[in-house]
């Protein structure tokens, strides 16, 4: 049989249900498999107690983790574990079994595929580097050293495999030469893959700036200064925000000007979306005086003002207090007086007045009280007979303002009243908060939780491919594309001229790795890889005809 290309690895995420994990690469016995598991903390160890069933082109591993299916957050990896030993002993002048030779070549190819899979995961950096980096760069160096050791071992193993193939070629007859040539070609592919991995590692090393340490120090210093400014701003905001929310301010404000963090005390309506923190903490939280919309309207109809916030919990909206022209604010001596509106008034003035006029000579008799007082008495109408009358005075009969209060309105200076709904530092750089909030109503939140269905659909469409396509030069096999001009997809395509040809695109660290193989000539091969703006993609391919590369821009890309 032949042995087509295989990735030599299968990786699965635990879901708390699966216990069977298939793999699609050829092995000849279960001891040629290596099963490992990785915990959510990133700790990797060999899997214990697994079993496997093997077929012609793969098999299935059955595994229970501590007697149960592999939990979510755990990962399981299945890789080849070939023995790297040549057990075929061919005796001169004897009959050669082609199946024995083919099995030997297949196992050598499997060893090379195993090496190729390991090299694809290796990170290699030049040994001539003289950097002295901090933690991040030190991590890159550690990865480089480990990859270099793996590459050295792979090179020795590949050389041993080529030597074994050459020895076999010298001892077999003319009929086996084609098979030996195929093994040599597989070795060449493995060497090319190793060179490609070294090239990619060198490109990654070159991407590390020479001035990385100084730039990191500068960034840390800027962060420290920014943190100090933010701390000062938070202290300033906290100092005034804890005392002003919900209070009424009298400001010598010109018409049309609204101080930062306030709104006019004019009974206007606002929504929770405009003032979410104020609504939840101070209104719904019971820290400020509130009433229903009906009670608010009734109070305004009675006195022309209302000192409470009207709240509609169903519609999640509210009205600020309404203060009319000439209203003054006084202290509430008890809870029953809180938020109470009092109509204007003056104390009433009452009294009585009366006289008795005698017909006989003598002194007249006067009756008086209240606002009336006796000034003098006179004698009138000497002689018998007489009459009497009483006159009373009540000023409230002319105006209801009399008798409606025990005080008299004092002299006043009238200013504009504002209600504090939020606070900010009083600096020239602070924008007009209330006007900004009024304009912000209906806009999307930072977490986008108030998007309409149409808005959600539009956001989803932004990530989809558009009809905008840009032609991109096809890089050399083993090289990198130009940086992506926008968020989108790199597309590589071509037509095969023979079976076994391929095209491959990989993003950084092989996070996305797409491969397409041909099974014969004349096949159209095509793959696409998603990228962000500025990303580059590594390309590898056989000699195809009519090759081209496009970049497809996302609907929301620019």
Write the pLDDT tens digit of every residue in 64-93.
Answer: 999 999 999 999 999 999 888 888 877 777
φ and ψ at residue 298, rounded to 5 degrees: -65, -40
Q: Are 84 and 160 in contact (CB under 8 A)?
A: yes
φ and ψ at residue 7, rounded to 5 degrees: -70, -15
Q: Bigger pLDDT: 512 or 429?
A: 512
Give me the pLDDT at residue 272, please.
92
Mean pLDDT of 182-197: 61
Mean pLDDT of 121-143: 65
Nearest alpha-carbon partner for 525 in 493, 551, 477: 493
Q: Which distant-in-sequence residues (6+ apart) come within 8 Å of 305 by Cβ?
A: 299, 321, 322, 323, 324, 327, 341
Q: From the CB of residue 504, how many other CB atoms can be counted at a distance below 10 Å?
A: 19
Q: Are 145 and 205 in contact (CB under 8 A)?
A: no
Mean pLDDT of 331-354: 73
- Report the distance separating Cα 94 and Cα 104, nearest Å: 18
Nearest alpha-carbon partner for 372 in 389, 349, 403, 351: 351
Mean pLDDT of 41-70: 93
DSSP conformation class of 198: H
Mean pLDDT of 474-502: 94
Burial class (CB in 10 A: 0-12, 13-18, 19+), 139: exposed
Q: Bigger pLDDT: 422 or 534?
A: 534
> Binning pLDDT at 50, 70 and 90, where does residue 460 land?
confident
Strand ranges of the sheet holding 51-54, from the earlier edge strand across to the other edge:
20-23, 59-62, 51-54
- Report the distance separating Cα 56 and Cα 36, nearest Å: 23
Point out the least confidently predicted range of 91-100, 134-143, 162-171, 397-406.
162-171
Q: Are 484 and 533 in contact (CB under 8 A)?
A: yes
Point out the least confidently predicted range of 96-110, 234-248, 448-462.
234-248
For 365-384, what is each residue's pLDDT tens digit? 566 677 666 555 544 444 55
Q: From the CB of residue 529, how many other CB atoms can be counted at a distance below 10 Å?
A: 23
> Binning pLDDT at 50, 70 and 90, where does residue 57 land?
confident
Give me the pLDDT at residue 379, please.
47
For 198-220, what is each residue's pLDDT tens digit? 665 555 455 445 555 555 566 56
From the centroid of its chain, how far is CA 409?
58
> Binning pLDDT at 50, 70 and 90, where does residue 340 land?
confident
Mean pLDDT of 494-518: 93
- Report the distance separating Cα 41 and Cα 28, nearest Å: 34
For 268-278, what is each residue's pLDDT tens digit? 999 998 889 88
Q: Are 486 and 554 in contact (CB under 8 A)?
A: yes
Place of tokens 């009083």: 426
From the centroid of its chain, how far is CA 465?
23
Buried/exposed code over 338-377 (b: 16+ C-beta within 10 A; e: otherwise) = ebebeeebbeeebeebebeebeeeeeeebebeeebeeeee
Q: Which two tokens stand for residue 333?
A: 């001596």
φ and ψ at residue 466, rounded to 5 degrees: -100, -175
Q: Is residue 60 helix, strand or coil?
A: strand
Nearest alpha-carbon partner for 279 in 312, 240, 236: 312
Nearest alpha-carbon partner for 77 in 112, 39, 113, 116: 39
Give me the pLDDT at residue 425, please.
35
Buried/exposed code over 104-113 (b: 16+ C-beta within 10 A; e: otherwise) = bbbbbbbbbb
Average pLDDT of the chain, as a whole number:
78
Q: Bigger pLDDT: 266 or 430?
A: 266
Q: Bigger pLDDT: 440 or 55?
A: 55
Buried/exposed code over 295-318 (b: 16+ C-beta within 10 A; e: otherwise) = ebeebbeebbbbbbbbbeeeeebb
Strand ranges of the sheet holding 317-319, from the earlier edge strand across to the other edge:
269-271, 317-319, 309-312, 290-291
Helices (H), 172-314: 177-206, 212-244, 276-278, 293-303
Answer yes or no: is pLDDT of 240 > 50.
no
């Amino acid at each position: 049989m032949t042995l087509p290309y295989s990735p030599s690895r299968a990786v699965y995420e635990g879901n708390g249900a699966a216990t069977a994990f298939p793999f699609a690469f050829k092995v000849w016995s279960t001891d040629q498999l290596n099963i490992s598991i990785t915990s959510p903390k990133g700790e990797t160890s060999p899997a214990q107690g697994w079993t496997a069933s093997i077929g012609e082109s793969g098999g299935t591993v059955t595994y229970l983790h501590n007697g149960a299916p592999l939990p979510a957050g755990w990962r399981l990896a299945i890789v080849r574990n070939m023995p790297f030993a040549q057990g075929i002993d061919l005796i001169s002048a004897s009959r050669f079994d082609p199946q024995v030779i083919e099995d030997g070549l297949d196992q050598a190819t499997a060893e090379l595929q195993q090496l190729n899979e390991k090299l694809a995961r290796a990170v290699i950096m030049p040994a001539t580097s003289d950097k002295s980096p901090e933690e991040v760069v030190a991590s890159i160096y550690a990865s480089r050293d480990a990859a270099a050791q793996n590459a050295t071992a792979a090179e020795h193993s590949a050389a041993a495999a080529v030597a074994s193939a050459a020895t076999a070629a010298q001892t077999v007859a003319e009929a086996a030469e084609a098979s030996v040539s195929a093994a040599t070609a597989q070795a060449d592919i493995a060497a090319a893959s190793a060179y490609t991995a070294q090239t990619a590692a060198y490109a990654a090393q070159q991407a590390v700036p020479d001035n990385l340490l100084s730039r990191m120090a500068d960034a840390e210093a800027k962060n420290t200064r920014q943190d100090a400014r933010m701390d000062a701003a938070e202290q300033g905001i906290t100092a005034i925000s804890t005392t002003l929310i919900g209070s009424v301010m009298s400001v010598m404000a010109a018409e049309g000007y609204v101080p930062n963090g306030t709104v006019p005390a004019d009974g206007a309506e606002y929504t929770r979306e405009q003032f979410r923190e104020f609504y939840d903490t101070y209104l719904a939280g019971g820290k400020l005086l509130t009433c229903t919309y009906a009670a608010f309207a009734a109070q305004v109809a009675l006195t022309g003002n209302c000192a409470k916030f009207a709240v509609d919990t169903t519609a999640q909206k509210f009205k600020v207090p309404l203060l009319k022209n000439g209203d003054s604010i006084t202290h509430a001596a008890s809870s029953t007086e809180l938020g109470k509106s009092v109509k204007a008034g003056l104390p009433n003035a009452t009294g009585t007045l009366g006289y008795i006029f005698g017909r006989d000579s003598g002194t007249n008799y006067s009756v008086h009280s209240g606002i009336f007082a006796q000034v003098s008495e006179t004698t009138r109408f000497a002689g018998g007979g007489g009459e009497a009358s009483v006159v009373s005075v009540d000023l409230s009969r002319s105006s209801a303002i009399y008798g409606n209060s025990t005080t008299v309105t004092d002299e006043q200076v009238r200013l504009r009243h504002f209600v504090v709904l939020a606070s900010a530092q009083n600096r020239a750089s602070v924008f007009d908060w209330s006007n900004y909030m009024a304009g912000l109503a209906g806009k999307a939140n930072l977490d986008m939780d108030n998007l309409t269905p149409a808005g959600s659909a539009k956001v989803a469409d932004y990530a989809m491919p558009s009809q905008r396509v840009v032609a991109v030069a096809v890089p050399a096999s083993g090289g990198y594309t130009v940086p992506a001009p926008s968020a989108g997809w790199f597309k590589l395509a071509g037509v095969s001229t023979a079976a076994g040809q391929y095209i491959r695109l990989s993003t950084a660290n092989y996070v996305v790795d797409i491969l397409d193989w041909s099974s014969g000539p004349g096949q159209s091969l095509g793959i696409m890889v998603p990228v962000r703006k500025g990303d580059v993609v590594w390309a590898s391919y056989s000699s195809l005809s009519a090759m081209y590369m496009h970049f497809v821009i996302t609907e929301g890309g620019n």
